[in-house]
């Protein structure tokens, strides 16, 4: 895919190198010309010096044909403007912007701009890891509001039905691995020792799932 990255800092340059290495067509824009030094000599994409909201520069970066734009500058407003220009003026299908100040989250939300790398995301993740060591999320969705986690079921749940672990709006069992084979279980499927379950969990309910698996029904 052709991706335009605004901001060639640590994250922007690392993303550019990664996507270039995966065969994507990458254009990186930075207002600081020295930022190009973060790109290695073998980098196959383009570096453009200038302001990532200038339409001339965006067009030089191929925004008309871009399938994605990622705004990673240190400035929330610059990220919002770049993201919205990409979406509305150039109909770029995938647009992501970094959010630095949590106080600006509502502004991004109101303008329909998907955010990444926010302080809130990091905080959520750290709390998850610190509090729930056994429930490492395999995947998170949206802004980490829901998570996919896997866990071996404790012995005391032997014979319980899958449906007993489902809590509407909070916890749902989506997959069962038994003796190396994966399947989507029925609500009435009885659990057996050694079963590993995949759960989709609301971020606020991870503690509740943890309690289930610790043998504390709440």
Under the rule (CB under 8 A), what is the footprint of other proteins? 51, 53-56, 75-78, 80-81, 85, 88, 101, 103-104, 106-107, 110-111
Identify which of residues 95 and 176 has a Cβ nearer to other proteins in the complex: 95
State in angstroms the smallest separation of the CB of 108 from other proteins: 10
CA distances, 193 to each of 31, 120, 154, 157, 179 (Å): 58, 37, 7, 8, 10
Measured from the CB of residue 125, what is the shortest distance to other proteins in angstroms?
A: 24
| CA nearest to 6, candidates 107, 141, 66, 119 | 66
Least distance from C-beta 145 to other proteins, angstroms? 21
**Distance (Å, whole) CA 146 – CA 182:** 22
Which C-beta is closer to other proteins: that of 75 or that of 189?
75
- Rounded (to 5) percent helix, strand, coil in the chain: 40, 30, 35
Strand 181-183 vs strand 196-202: parallel, antiparallel, or unpaired? unpaired
Say how far residue 153 (Cα) sits from the centre of its chain: 27
CB of 201 to other proteins, least distance (A): 30
Considering the complex, state which of residue 17 and residue 31 has its C-beta at the smaller distance from other proteins: 31
Q: Which residue number, 2 or 87, has a Cβ lying nearer to other proteins?
A: 87
């Amino acid at each position: 895919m052709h991706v335009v990255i605004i901001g060639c800092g640590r994250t922007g340059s690392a993303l550019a190198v990664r996507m270039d290495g995966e065969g994507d067509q990458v254009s990186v824009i930075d207002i600081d010309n020295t930022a190009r030094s973060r790109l290695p000599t073998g980098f196959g994409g383009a570096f453009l010096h200038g302001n990532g909201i200038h339409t001339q520069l965006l067009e030089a970066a191929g925004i008309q044909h871009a399938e994605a734009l990622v705004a990673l500058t240190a400035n929330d407003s610059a990220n919002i403007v770049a993201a919205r220009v990409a979406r509305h003026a150039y109909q770029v299908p995938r647009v992501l912007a970094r959010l630095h100040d949590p106080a600006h989250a509502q502004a991004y939300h109101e303008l329909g701009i998907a955010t990444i790398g926010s302080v809130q995301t990091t905080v959520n993740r750290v709390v998850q890891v610190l509090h729930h060591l056994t429930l490492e999320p395999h995947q998170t969705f949206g802004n980490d509001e829901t998570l996919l986690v896997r866990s071996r079921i404790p012995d005391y749940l032997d014979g319980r039905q899958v449906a007993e672990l489902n809590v509407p709006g909070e916890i749902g069992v989506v997959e069962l691995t038994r003796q190396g084979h994966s399947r989507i279980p029925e609500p009435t499927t009885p659990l057996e020792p050694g079963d590993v379950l995949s759960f989709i969990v609301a971020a606020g309910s991870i503690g509740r799932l943890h309690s289930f698996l610790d043998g504390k029904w709440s």
